[in-house]
């Protein structure tokens, strides 16, 4: 089946544990939902890093969707309240005009959701803003009681800079701009932003299932995971005929043709029994194609050909 949110491999929750043990002073902010597949992923993730939690490595769970929903992103302040002391304690790096070190950063914040993309971008925008405000206050660019929001021109530049950065990363990773980008760009959710999210979500579904295999092959070639040469031919396909030639375009073309013939037959079905029978046949054909694609979704996806995943 071609799912919008496929299940994650069991080993996905422990990939970063070894790296975590090499870093001191880190606070992790997983923003997974507490329910459904994300809830199970969060439970496994929390359990997998439990052995390395310490005074230096903290773990803070924040259910972004439960607390903020789709529009109340200002509630991220609840998360900041939980980590404010940590941010102030571990500071940031600062040199004075003489090149002397005034501050030294001793910790970092690792924010992640399922893709480390959309919710992560919104949260890091908030954290980055708070840190930047403290830095500007430290060097007397801002007063102790001033914030970036007090300077509309600079505030707008900051939002645009962060939103463009998030869109660039998202486009490389998923093929579309970041979701929830209107909040980062304008400081609030907009109707146009919600509609853009809907369109981008559908585009991601198509790209992820029917286009990303080719992109992954390009990355594997670039990173040396697959070495191509004149004398090296592609392996002979060993799968079934249907799976070798199945594609979204083929399924869509067959379904579209069936729908067109169905409509043409229905227009004449009132006065012609033969076309009524044809309408029923085309209806069955449409239903059969839809069921087959749904039941054999993996055969129609665009998967990498050069470097096969262990999963």
| Global confidence as pTM | 0.73
Q: Lowest mean pLDDT: which of 155-159, 172-176, 243-247?
A: 243-247
pLDDT surpasses 90 at 185: yes
Contact 166, 178 (CB under 8 A): yes
272-305 confidence digits (pLDDT tens): 777 778 888 888 888 888 888 778 777 778 888 8
Query: What is each CA distance from 260 to 267, 276, 283, in whole angstroms?
Result: 11, 15, 11
pLDDT surpasses 60 at 17: no
Contact 307, 225 (CB under 8 A): yes
Contact 151, 161 (CB under 8 A): no
Q: Which of 94, 90, 95 is nearest to 109 (CA)?
A: 90
The predicted pLDDT at position 164 comes to 96
Mean pLDDT of 147-164: 95
């Amino acid at each position: 089946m071609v799912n919008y949110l496929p299940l994650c491999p069991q080993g996905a929750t422990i990939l970063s544990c070894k790296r975590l043990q090499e870093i001191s002073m880190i606070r992790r902010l997983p923003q997974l939902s507490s329910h459904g597949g994300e809830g199970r992923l969060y439970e496994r993730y929390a359990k997998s890093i439990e052995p390395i939690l310490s005074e230096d490595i903290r773990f803070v769970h924040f259910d972004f969707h439960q607390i903020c929903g789709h529009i109340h992103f200002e509630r991220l302040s609840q998360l900041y309240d939980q980590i404010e002391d940590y941010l102030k304690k571990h500071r940031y790096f600062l040199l004075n005009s003489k090149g002397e070190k005034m501050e030294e950063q001793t910790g970092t914040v690792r924010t992640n959701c399922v893709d480390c993309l959309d919710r992560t971008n919104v949260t890091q925008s908030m954290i980055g803003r708070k840190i930047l405000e403290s830095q500007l206050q430290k060097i007397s660019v801002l007063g102790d009681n001033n914030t970036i929001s007090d300077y509309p021109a600079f505030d707008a530049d900051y939002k645009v800079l962060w939103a463009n950065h998030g869109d660039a990363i998202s486009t490389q990773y998923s093929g579309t701009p970041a979701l929830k980008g209107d909040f980062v760009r304008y400081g609030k959710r907009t109707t146009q932003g919600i509609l853009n999210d809907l369109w981008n979500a559908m585009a991601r579904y198509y790209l992820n299932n029917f286009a990303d295999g080719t992109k992954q092959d390009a990355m594997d070639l670039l990173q040396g995971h697959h070495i191509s040469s004149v004398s090296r031919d592609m392996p002979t396909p060993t799968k079934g005929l249907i799976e070798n030639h199945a594609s979204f375009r083929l399924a869509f073309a067959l379904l579209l043709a069936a729908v067109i013939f169905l409509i043409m037959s229905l227009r004449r079905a009132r006065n012609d029994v033969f076309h009524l029978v044809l309408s029923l046949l085309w209806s069955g054909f449409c239903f059969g194609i839809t069921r087959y694609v749904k039941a054999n979704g993996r055969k129609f996806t665009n998967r990498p050909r050069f470097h096969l995943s262990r999963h």
